[in-house]
Amino acid sequence: MADINVSTSAEFLSALSSSAPGDDILLAPGIVYDTGGDKTYVKTGRVTVKSADPDNQAEIGGGFRLVDSAFLRLENIFFNEPSFGDAAVALRIKNSDDMQVYNCRIEGGKTGAQFFGGNNLEVVGNFFDNHRVDHVKFAGVTNFLIENNHGGGHMSPNPAPDDHMDFIQFQGDGTDGVIRGNTFFVKTTQSPVDGSGKIHQGIFLNDGDFTRIVIEDNLIYTTASNAIYVRNATDITIRRNTILEIQGATQSPQIRLVDPIGGNVVEPNNVGSHGSSELVLQHDNPAGANYYNDVYQNATVGLAAVIEDFRPVPGGPADFGSGMGAERRIAELLDENGGSIPSMSFTYSIETAVDPAVGALVIDDPATGDMTFTPVADVVGNTSFQYRKASDIFGNHAIGTIQVNVVPPTVIAPDGNLSVDANTPKSFNVESVS
């Protein structure tokens, strides 16, 4: 596990090739890293790429494209694609497993980011803005977490007449996932040729089959009817979302399950401006029931909206603790006491055991993945094991593999996830070595 500091594009590409599980590649600020075309980096354990200065994001320009890769984490990076052409995308990850994108800023391109094909994907805490069409697009992903991302709601300066924006779009299958705590505030109303104004869809799942997905705690403030849209849905749960119409919109945002297959649940705790929600708000009559600003303090603000505008009115039907709409995510963003959304919890177990001739493995804490490996006395050698990381929602969330090298205490271990000195038990956490 090493820190690899880079300050040129060539050094960055070299580090991506040579890095080992547990390494951090630290990108110095001040230049635009150019990676040039599709790249493949298959790791056997997590390698993190992040900005060397947490307060000064390093910039990767011209599109960062990964294909057939594994076990990379991209963290606190500015992905910038200044072109808005049909093939332009700021970040694309294709046919890759165990990938993570955390706390990045992603701007430009026809689409901000694309994730096409892969298992065990996490897209968390990112900011998307200034794209020609979609903020972020998915297809063919399984075991995924899309959480706490924000859509800035701006389109590129000159969209084509038939362009429209989706915040989170699936254009292919999605299975076993969570879409949670995301916020989207539309900021633009560029008009196409017919003058009707651009539509800006929220969470849009179409052109595939969608199975065992939870959509919860999202705040969508938009101009389009498809605030939450799922076609060909099986075992979809939609709960605690706030979806509101911007005044002057030609469509009313709603929850839509189109051609549902079965087992779907829309819980009675969604807040919106359409009858598809349990608590229906209106913005036309300030003296009427459930007026926007009687529930959220400044929800009639329109295109200038910020999170503070959605602070619940004390004692109102969507107040903190009510369980209505996205109040938990709003409280989290406003730093209200007790307002955090509980994180997805996991249970760790051993899927395939180590070779008993080399050592024994026990789980110290199934909730954290803490384990201890005890080598057989006076034995050196190599073994491996697989662990199962099961989520509290879907069960089998991920399978990880860890290589164990038992070596004499004075010997440097060969490449592998975990080095253990002979005759000395070693405690570790699977997430820190995989």
Q: Quick: pLDDT tens for 242-295.
A: 999 887 777 788 899 999 999 999 999 999 988 888 999 999 999 999 999 999
Last residue of a domain, one of 333, 354, 380: 333
Distances (CA, A) of 65 to 61, 92, 122, 200: 11, 5, 17, 26
User: What is the pLDDT, as a whole number, of residue 191?
Assistant: 41
Last residue of a domain, one of 279, 298, 333: 333
Q: Is 55 domain-assigned?
A: no
User: What is the pLDDT, as a whole number, of residue 131?
Assistant: 86
Q: Is 194 domain-assigned?
A: yes
Could you list the residue range(s) of the whole structural domain that residue 206 is in?
82-333
Q: Is 34 domain-assigned?
A: no
Same-domain pairing of 127 and 240:
yes
Which of the pair, 156 or 234, is modelled with greater confidence? 234
Same-domain pairing of 248 and 283:
yes
Same-domain pairing of 372 and 258:
no
Euclidean distance between CA atoms 237 and 205, whole angstroms: 13
Domain count across the chain: 2
The burial of 317, by beta-carbon neighbours within 10 Å (0-12 exposed, 13-18 middle, 19 or more buried), is given as middle
For 79-88, 380-389, 403-412, which range has the lowest pLDDT when averaged over its residues?
403-412
Distances (CA, A) of 112 to 48, 91, 133, 179, 398: 21, 7, 8, 18, 27
Residue with tokens 């991920």: 398
Same-domain pairing of 305 and 353:
no
Q: Is 68 domain-assigned?
A: no
Same-domain pairing of 180 and 119:
yes
Last residue of a domain, one of 270, 305, 333: 333
User: What is the pLDDT, as a whole number, of residue 412?
Assistant: 52
Q: Is 11 domain-assigned?
A: no
Same-domain pairing of 243 and 127:
yes
Provide mean pLDDT across the span 51-63. Answer: 94
User: What is the pLDDT, as a whole number, of residue 432?
Assistant: 66
User: What is the pLDDT, as a whole number, of residue 402?
Assistant: 84
Q: Is 86 domain-assigned?
A: yes
The burial of 148, by beta-carbon neighbours within 10 Å (0-12 exposed, 13-18 middle, 19 or more buried), is given as buried
Same-domain pairing of 373 and 242:
no
Residue with tokens 């929220």: 202
CA 294 to chain centre: 32
Per-residue pLDDT tens over the stretch 265-280:
999 999 998 888 899 9
List, in sequence order, every beta strand (DSSP E) within 38-124. 38-39, 42-51, 58-61, 64-67, 70-75, 77-81, 89-94, 99-102, 105-108, 111-124
Q: pTM value?
A: 0.81
Helix (H, G, I), strand (E, B) or coil at 215: strand
Same-domain pairing of 381 and 239:
no
Q: Is 173 domain-assigned?
A: yes
Nearest alpha carbon to residue 403 among 423, 389, 419: 419
Q: Is 279 domain-assigned?
A: yes
Residue 433 has pLDDT above 70, yes or no: no
| 6 C-beta neighbours (distance < 10 Å), count | 21
Half-sphere exposure of 411 (CA within 13 A, CB side): 13
Same-domain pairing of 325 and 355:
no
Per-residue pLDDT tens over the stretch 178-221:
999 999 988 776 543 334 455 688 999 999 999 999 999 999 99
User: What is the pLDDT, as a whole number, of residue 196?
Assistant: 45
Same-domain pairing of 320 and 356:
no
Same-domain pairing of 302 and 410:
no
% of the chain with per-residue pLDDT over 70 = 89
User: What is the pLDDT, as a whole number, of residue 222?
Assistant: 86
Phi, psi dihedral angles at 25 (to 5 degrees): -95, 120
Same-domain pairing of 297 and 367:
no
